[in-house]
A and B are shown apart, each in its own frame.
Chain A
Amino acid sequence: MPMKITKFAFASLTILFLVAPLIAILPLAFTSSVILTYPIPSWSLRWFEELFFADAWRRAIVNSLIIGTGTTLLATVLGTAAALGLRNRLIFFRGTIRTLFLLPMVVPAVVLGVGMQVLLAGFGLTNSYAGVIIAHTVVAVPFVVVSVTGALAGIDERVELAAQSLGASPTTVFRRVTLPLAMPGVASGAVLAFATSLDEVVLTLFVAGPNQRTLARQMFSSIRENISPAIAAAAFLFIAATIIIALVVVLSRSMLAKRR
């Protein structure tokens, strides 16, 4: 019995440690004070106003949306195509290619950032949206590859063979059978790519100029230089977005599971 209580206490404390910090900062988004402390003197939406109407924050949000959309499109197209190509077991160096596709998740961001800055400076792409989108796509594409590969692995190849034997051309098989079946994986890959771009700071620090300041980058320098409850308001938005994204991913996964 004491064992059971110890287990319960340990599990509860760890859950508290994991979740409490995220919950504790949410009310601070609605403070009327200029400092980030409890108790909250009175409630107000002034920091959300700051977020949406102050020039620096509003531009950062717009930049994040532009760069996030660009990254999502590029990463989803490249990653989905590559995952489809990887299905073929006859490809030479299939394992090596797969490792290469996943490696951007492993390499420390600062290392990639230094190399990226050197390279993009050579192309004249530093301080440009294209440069930031390219950099974000490098780190976002592994998530698309993993997600789409997972969805494709769940497809029964006999379905495609059946379509083929009924006279469908490879393009038709792909368009009418493979792609619809893989769609949940493509969707969750796209969502993960967007989330990666939204949260990326280190590469942005190296490649982006002052005109491409993203929300994450703005939060980073705001914590560093002059922290205000606008951070808590931004965090609130992020956490709300996370929960929505998580729901989308979970729903698309359960759709995938039902298909099987």
Chain B
Amino acid sequence: MIAGPSRTVRSLILLAPLLVFLIGFFIWPLFSMMSQSVSDTAVLRLLPRSAVVLPVWDRKSPPTVSMQTALMEDLKAVDDDQALGDMVRRLNSARSGFRTLISKTTSALGNTANPPADLVSIDKRWEKPEFWLAIADALSPLTDRNLLAAVDLGRNAAGDIEHLPADQSVNRVILVRTFWIAALVTFFCACIGFPYAMIAASLDGWKRDLMLAAVLLPLWTSLLVRTAAWFILLQEQGLINDLLRWIGVIDAPLPLIFNRTGVIIAMTHVLLPFMVLPIYSVLITIPKNLMPAAASLGAHPLRAFLRVLLPLSLRGVASGSLLVFISAIGYYITPALIGGPGDQMISSIIAFYATGSANWGMAGALGVVLLVATLLLYSVYARLSAEEPGRR
């Protein structure tokens, strides 16, 4: 009887290392990415005194003496140029004009021979409540700016959510493009994968093994190798263009690489196994005598297919499509290598913000969008595949 609890303790001890490892290096990174997307301390870090004074201001009247003194003290205390640059960029994005205003102010404050009495004497713009309003709003350590900007929304001066002007609206285009490419790839995978799985399931012996091996070999091959293979095949002097010219179909090489066509071809090839295998695994559970039964009852083969086989295999098609779609929206390597600048998907933009411009806020916000989309679709997929045992 002691075996029960001691066994549980043993199991927990076995589970604990991986649990701790994944909480530390999987869940925590995801949370720190999310917190990057809402954290906004570029201004607060440098203006601690203003952060005390500004909240009691009525947000309408001209700046008081204590506000000006606090900001002057804060600006004098800044000794980190990079942090100052971050703050200026942050303020300038909220209200244009801050770049010149701050640099003019800091150089005036640096003039120790002739110290300015207050900020308004340095620049008349410090009289305007708008600039103070921008600082007051930027002092909050949390922001929804990045998350809103990830879907091309922003807040206007009154704090209402509105669409960003067209010249700043790039993210929605990329989101739509990501989903569109993923949908096209899913569609082509389904068009090829469904008949392929049906044929494979209808065969047996070495023919079926051959068809399955043809799916498994690319699945097990390195993604990078498959992408490299398509890179080599699709280039202007590549095998496909050579072949088409040799047959005489075309005279000039077709542009197949660094464009949408190449991305779709390569991604369809890479993801096709994820479509074939779920459909196949559903199809082989369908009794083989159903179609003959339908035929013996007088159903035309097409009708028998539409009314018997298709509904029964639909679950496989659905899980395959979800699997392909989920993988496709997160793709980075294939579009980065085969696509042109107009084919970059959301992952590339995240990588650009993170490594290219060190804008962790935007990288995190777009990451949250991609993560939420992926997890939502995955929960649908998990529910779909969990229904499996219930059906048997």
Contact = CB atoms under 8 A, between A and B. Distances in A.
Interface of A: 7, 10-11, 14-15, 17-19, 21-22, 24-25, 28, 35-38, 77-79, 81-82, 84-88, 90-91, 97, 99-101, 103-104, 106-119, 122, 134-135, 137-138, 141, 145, 170, 195, 198-199, 201-202, 205-206, 216, 219-220, 223-224, 227, 231-232, 234-235, 238-239, 242, 245-246
A116 B7 CA distance: 35
Contact of A24 (B215, B217, B233, B370): B233
A156 B33 CA distance: 44
Contacts of A88: 7-8, 10-11
A77 B351 CA distance: 32
Contact of B14 (A85, A138, A242): A85
B108 to A, nearest CB: 36
Contacts of A82: 14-15, 17-19
Contacts of A134: 25
Contacts of A195: 220
B132 interface: no
22 contacts: A7-B199, A21-B226, A21-B229, A37-B235, A81-B17, A85-B16, A86-B15, A88-B10, A91-B12, A100-B26, A110-B370, A112-B29, A115-B31, A118-B36, A135-B25, A216-B222, A223-B337, A224-B337, A238-B225, A239-B221, A242-B221, A242-B222
Closest 6 CB pairs of A and B: A108-B330, A115-B29, A85-B14, A85-B15, A115-B33, A88-B11
A78 B30 contact: no
Interface in B266-321: 269, 272
A79 B347 CA distance: 28
Given A37-B235, A137-B25, A202-B332, 16 more contacts: A10-B196, A14-B192, A21-B230, A24-B233, A77-B17, A82-B17, A85-B15, A88-B11, A106-B378, A114-B364, A116-B29, A119-B29, A138-B25, A205-B351, A235-B228, A239-B221
A18 B229 contact: no
Given A19-B214, A101-B22, A115-B367, A106 B326 contact: yes
Contacts of B333: 201-202, 220
A28 B224 CA distance: 16
Instruction: Give the bracket for the number of chain B residues in contact with chain A.
Output: 35 or more
Interface of B: 4, 7-8, 10-19, 21-22, 25-33, 36, 192, 195-196, 199-200, 210-211, 214-218, 220-233, 235, 237-239, 242, 269, 272, 326, 329-330, 332-333, 336-337, 347, 350-351, 354-355, 360, 363-364, 367, 370-371, 374-375, 378, 382
Given A18-B215, A81-B14, A115-B32, A110 B229 contact: no
Contacts of B18: 78-79, 81-82, 101, 141, 145
A36 B12 contact: no
- B-side interface mostly: helix
- A-side interface mostly: helix
Contacts, number: 241
Given A22-B218, A223-B231, A246-B220, A117 B354 contact: yes
A88 B14 CA distance: 11
Residue among B29, B217, B239, B355 with the highest chain A CB neighbour number at 10 A: B29
A211 B248 CA distance: 49
B210 A227 contact: no
A216 B224 contact: yes
A36 B231 CA distance: 10
A109 B332 contact: yes
A99 B371 contact: no
